[in-house]
Amino acid sequence: MLVDAPAKLNLSLRVLGKRRDGFHKVETLMTPLRGLSDHLHFEPAEQYHLDCDEPGVPTDGSNLVTRAVRLFEQESKEKVGYRIRLEKNIPHGAGLGGGSSDAAATLLGLNALYDEPIDFDKLSQMGASLGSDVPFFFFDEACWCRGRGTDVEAAGIEWNETVLLFKPAFPVSTEQAYKRWKFSREHADIPYGAQEIAGVKMVNDLERPVFEKHLFLAILKRKLLATEGVAGAMMSGSGSTVFAVLEEGVDGEKLAEKVKSETDPEMWTWCGQAG
């Protein structure tokens, strides 16, 4: 069996303060990127085993796929007898939710393979215990995610804009981004304000702490906003991906090569439709 694990974009991310449990209270609007997905291949086996085609991705108990498998075994009382091959297309540490999506896809895939012993609400709770973004990936549409990100509500919107993603080689630590949020400062010449695109006010409160530490990302956003054919630009999640919303008819591949040649020729890029 093959299960797709799509990436996500944060179209809006507001940090509303710190909770008693140590997490931050957020309100974020997220949308799936259907054309950018990891793929999980489930193959019958005598016992569970995880393989991954990307060097450097751990395949031990620290991987969210394995953690999801063990949690499913615990809650369903089933012993998982599948080899999972994880085909990675979503970059790590990018603010695109790759690991969280993999975990959700694992839970959904196993639940289907074992004749759905766990109902949706319980599956969502299990996902929340693995990571704040995981419950979002049980939905197939744009959603508002509140609380620490695990309270998910369908947004009831269609945001089908063409986006161009740029990710430099370095990752960004989500934990450190939130830790630095309260006391971080803005760069004087970088735009942080809300941008309205197709009825959505795009703003990301984590740009301030992340840009303070990673000036390259701030410069990249500023450059994208000044580039012809770009309707808006913002960092996704805690980064390090910065995305541009393209105007109609713009050649994304040409624009990507132009920006890379002027900033970092080695950057990973992807162009496609959100929503």
- Host domain of residue 29: 2-154
135 with 261, same domain?
Answer: no
CATH number at residue 177: 3.30.70.890
Determine if the peptide bond prior to 240 is cis (ω within 30°): yes
Collapsed DSSP state (helix, strand, coil) of residue 19: coil
Active site residues: 8, 133
126 with 213, same domain?
Answer: no
150 with 169, same domain?
Answer: no
128 with 218, same domain?
Answer: no
In the chain, the number of structural domains is 2
168 with 150, same domain?
Answer: no
94 with 121, same domain?
Answer: yes
149 with 167, same domain?
Answer: no
Q: Tell me which of 128, 154, 180 is where a domain ends.
A: 154
107 with 180, same domain?
Answer: no
178 with 118, same domain?
Answer: no
Question: What does the pLDDT read at residue 34?
Answer: 83
* pTM to 2 decimal places: 0.95
Q: What is the pLDDT tens value at each position of the chain, 275 positions in all? A: 999 999 999 999 999 988 888 788 999 999 999 899 999 999 999 999 999 999 989 999 999 999 999 999 999 999 999 999 999 999 988 999 999 999 999 999 999 999 999 999 999 999 999 999 999 999 989 999 999 999 999 999 999 999 999 999 999 999 999 999 999 999 999 999 999 999 999 999 999 999 999 999 999 999 999 999 999 999 999 999 999 999 999 999 999 999 999 999 999 999 999 98
Environment class of residue 119 by beta-carbon count within 10 Å: exposed (0-12), middle (13-18) or buried (19+)? exposed
CATH number at residue 134: 3.30.230.10
Closest-CA residue to 36 (of 4, 6, 2): 6
- Which tokens go with 54? 């990307």
Beta strands in 124-199 (DSSP E): 143-147, 151-154, 162-167, 195-197
Question: What does the pLDDT read at residue 20?
Answer: 82
According to DSSP H, which parts of 47-146 are helical? 64-76, 98-113, 120-130
Q: Tell me which of 154, 186, 214 is where a domain ends.
A: 154
61 with 97, same domain?
Answer: yes
